[in-house]
Structure 1
Amino acid sequence: MKKLSLYFIGLLLIPSLFLTSCDRGDDPADDNVVATPKFTLLKDYMVQNDLDISKIIKNSDDEKFVVGAPASADLQTFLDKYYIFDIRSSDAFNASHIEGANNIPFANILTEAPNAGSKPILVVCYSGQTACYATALLRMYGYKHTQALKWGMSGWSSSTSTSWDNKIGADEADNHANWTYNAAPLNIVFDDPMITTNLSNGEAILKQRVEDIVATGFGPATVSGSDVLTNPGGYFINNYFSETDYLGFGHITGAYRILPLTLGDDTYLGLDPDANAKVVTYCYTGQTSAVITACLRVLGYDAYTMTFGMNGIYNTNPAWSTNQWGVDSNPKDLPFAP
């Protein structure tokens, strides 16, 4: 009889044991615990630490990602302020460069950055586009005071302006069948991108992602305006214009206008995270789109920047107002290092 009583007591205790074990939500071995997606860890870290896309474009101190070449009278102050990375080839650097600049390969920007000390970093390239891409990556890596030289060396001197001079004038979009003035299509809400990593900390994931993107270089993140204009169906296109310019300038057929594009308000969900989507951003000069593309690649999108932007496919558009190379934007004749 005693054995039988113990048997029934055991049966009564078993459910309570199960209930106790199921309540251990902090047990990493618990199969019922759903791990936070890696993208969510990355996103939350970036938003909470002033590294949202909008904060890469303009940091928490209201410093934009680009700075124009100075007036002649302000040159020395400008040179004294920055630790300058010139990421052009050694041949181009040796031919002419800004006084005090350091010739740094793109692949070395993260390892060189600590040498700037307390100085903000200025990144210089041929046209400003690669420098803007590098600037975004450096800002995400913790160097928030990094800026790119707007228009690159093309904006410094007329003797080094060929990168821009040679990319305008074709006006392929003028009367092109794939150039339209229609209203933007309605934005679609997609899922988050997928990020694969063994890391479980948002900061560590961000560092790893930035390092991986730097290692691949700028070239794989670019597409020409001619390619996008000819085959718009091959891309998920986001036009980074104001609504007034989107309608007034015209735009590539099928281009969305997802702006603002930030993590904090979930507007980024308008972008297609599919690995075959080829998300291409285009702006006026290819410089802002380079920044956005760097951010999107770090976030796990198959993202591309349309090189030279609107300037590259329709520089003489009659609706143009600012950032038009050769009209309101021209090279300055600033000196090079002796």
Structure 2
Amino acid sequence: YELAHIPGAVNIGAKALFTADKLAMIPADKPVVVYCYTGQTSSQVVSVLNMLGYDAKSLLFGFPSWAYVEGLKGPKPFDRAVDGHDYMVSTEAVEASGSFDQPAPLADTVAAAAEAYFSKGTKNIKASDVFENLNDGDASNDPFLIDVRKPEDYAAGHIPGAVNMSAKTFFTPENLAKIPADKQIVVNCYTGQTASQVVSVLNMLGYDAYNLKFGFAAWSPSGVYKFNVADSPMYRFEGTGVAAEAPAAEAPATAEQAPATLPVSGGVPVDFNWVYFLVGGGLLGAGVYLRRK
């Protein structure tokens, strides 16, 4: 952040973002844009902010989609030569056949469950680690693989053994019952952005879930990662060693908390005992186990 950041951005670490004092810094009456290095962590954050009633979006592909700055210490942007692999893919559809009880959530409210999960760091896994696990000769430790891409893209080629679930219907009771609570879960999408949103909620619900870092693009050359640092627009940024045109904004000491209700169709406010999950602009059911208040 000190080296380079979007002008006006405030710096709040993901591990502490869901504490009461940090949430109090976020205005509930403005759109909130969250960014990280690659979009993986900010996507996990944004899904939960939306569940809490904020109007939050993740900056697609992270800070490099704003400006690419050499010397950043965090995770690097996707590089096919480094992060991409040519692992085997399958065109054979896999149906989830089990019926499982859901685990106990990390807490009984969204904010408390979010703090419990994010305080320990977000969960991402490299394609190479998944491949090694699947090929170590011990099927008992294989993860349960979920592909949330479009059905036609799943059919064209997916990680062997992966089941296909839409992010928009992922958190229905019927789909959650298909996910084993006693196995590691690995979720992949195209680039890791949507899967990250799914994974944060799964962990809050008590699953041991990981986002496949950089998505299917990291597993197979048939996967497309629609961003290259060479195409970075190089918008103005602020930071050390750069002549800032305006000082970075400071986070306000206090701000109105997120609304206690979420709008439903027609704009009628209503209290929910359900957790709602925002994907692609739609509110979607995420189970009945976490309460907003």
Q: Give the TM-score normalised by structure 1.
A: 0.60
Matched, 1:167 2:79: yes
Q: Report the alpha carbon displacement of residue 228 of structure 1 after superposing the two structures with TM.
A: 1.1
Partner of 1:37: none
| Residue of structure 2 aligned with 1:135, choices 18, 43, 46 | 46
| Residue of structure 2 aligned with 1:217, choices 121, 125, 141 | 121
Partner of 1:158: 68
Q: Report the alpha carbon displacement of residue 171 of structure 1 after superposing the two structures with TM.
A: 7.1
What amino acid is the match of 1:256?
V
Cα deviation per residue 1:205-224 (whole Å; 9 max; x = unaligned)? 33321221121121xx1211
- The 8 Å contact of residues 132 and 290 in structure 1, kept in 2 or not, is answered as yes
Partner of 1:244: 152
Distance across 2 between alignment mates of 1:259 and 1:147 = 20
More helix by share: 1
- The 8 Å contact of residues 167 and 312 in structure 1, kept in 2 or not, is answered as no
Higher RCO (Cα < 8 Å, 6 or more apart): 2
Matched, 1:99 2:7: yes
What amino acid is the match of 2:79?
K
Q: Report the alpha carbon displacement of residue 160 of structure 1 after superposing the two structures with TM.
A: 5.8
| Residue of structure 1 aligned with 2:160, choices 253, 260, 269 | 253
Distance 1:271 1:160, change over 3 A: farther
What amino acid is the match of 2:39?
G
| Residue of structure 1 aligned with 2:187, choices 276, 281, 302 | 281
Distance 1:256 1:334, change over 3 A: same
Matched, 1:325 2:227: yes
Distance across 1 between alignment mates of 2:15 and 2:170 = 27
SS at match of 1:303: strand
Q: Report the alpha carbon displacement of residue 311 of structure 1 after superposing the two structures with TM.
A: 2.4
Matched, 1:205 2:109: yes
Distance 1:147 1:245, change over 3 A: same
SS at match of 1:293: helix
Q: Give the TM-score normalised by structure 2.
A: 0.69
SS at match of 1:266: helix
Q: Report the alpha carbon displacement of residue 312 of structure 1 after superposing the two structures with TM.
A: 2.2
SS at match of 1:146: strand
> Number of residue pairs matched?
227
- The 8 Å contact of residues 122 and 147 in structure 1, kept in 2 or not, is answered as yes
Distance across 1 between alignment mates of 2:115 and 2:148 = 26
Partner of 2:253: none
Q: Report the alpha carbon displacement of residue 104 of structure 1 after superposing the two structures with TM.
A: 1.2
Moved more, 129-138 or 161-170: 161-170
Q: Report the alpha carbon displacement of residue 252 of structure 1 after superposing the two structures with TM.
A: 1.5
Matched, 1:296 2:205: no
What amino acid is the match of 1:269?
A
Partner of 2:273: none
Partner of 2:102: 193
Identity rate of aligned residues, in percent?
25
Distance across 1 between alignment mates of 2:59 and 2:105 = 34
SS at match of 1:292: helix
The alignment's C-alpha RMSD in Å is 2.6
**Structure exhibiting the larger radius of gyration computed from Cα positions:** 1
Cα deviation per residue 1:263-290 (whole Å; 9 max; x = unaligned)? 336222221111xx10110111111111
Distance 1:330 1:184, change over 3 A: farther
SS at match of 2:80: coil
Partner of 2:263: none
- The 8 Å contact of residues 172 and 226 in structure 1, kept in 2 or not, is answered as no
Cα deviation per residue 1:176-215 (whole Å; 9 max; x = unaligned)? 3xx2232221222322322178x8xxxx433321221121
Distance across 2 between alignment mates of 1:98 and 1:192 = 44
Cα deviation per residue 1:77-98 (whole Å; 9 max; x = unaligned)? xxxxxxxxxxxxxxxx111111
- The 8 Å contact of residues 238 and 257 in structure 1, kept in 2 or not, is answered as yes
- The 8 Å contact of residues 153 and 160 in structure 1, kept in 2 or not, is answered as no
Distance across 1 between alignment mates of 2:53 and 2:80 = 33
Matched, 1:124 2:31: no
Distance across 1 between alignment mates of 2:83 and 2:113 = 37
Distance across 1 between alignment mates of 2:159 and 2:218 = 13
What amino acid is the match of 1:157?
A
- The 8 Å contact of residues 187 and 256 in structure 1, kept in 2 or not, is answered as yes
Q: Report the alpha carbon displacement of residue 259 of structure 1 after superposing the two structures with TM.
A: 2.3
Distance 1:96 1:279, change over 3 A: same
Partner of 2:272: none
